[in-house]
A = this chain, B = another copy of it.
Amino acid sequence: MRKLLQVDFDFAGPFGEEMSNALVGLAESINNEPGFIWKVWTENQANQVAGGIYLFEDEVSANAYLEMHTARLKEMGVKEVRGQIFDVNTPLSTINKAPVA
């Protein structure tokens, strides 16, 4: 069953175009992670927060990615990574045109 992974963390930047340019290689590598379907990259410069919303094929792949990504972020200097894995309520999400089918 597909799982949604919600990640956010306090972040000092880079944001916006600078982030886009710096992290192309990381984004391309994420496409190769087991069970990965899509990721929305999230950022809020005013609040100094960044993160991502991911869809994975199943709980095993979502868990494995969260563990690996948390370790990677900590190596980049992030102190605390907030990560939560959710089921997707598919009937309600389908009513609301969500891209999860």
Which A residues are closer than 8 A to B by beta carbons? 4, 6, 8, 15-16, 19-20, 23-24, 27-28, 30-31, 36-45, 47, 49, 51, 53, 84-89, 91-93, 95-100
Contact = CB atoms under 8 A, between A and B. Distances in A.
Shortest Cβ-Cβ A-B pairs, 5 listed:
A99-B99, A42-B86, A41-B89, A39-B96, A20-B91
This chain: copies in complex? 2
B98 A41 contact: yes
B28 A95 contact: yes
Nearest to A30: B96
Given A84-B8, A86-B44, A23 B92 contact: yes
B42 A4 contact: yes
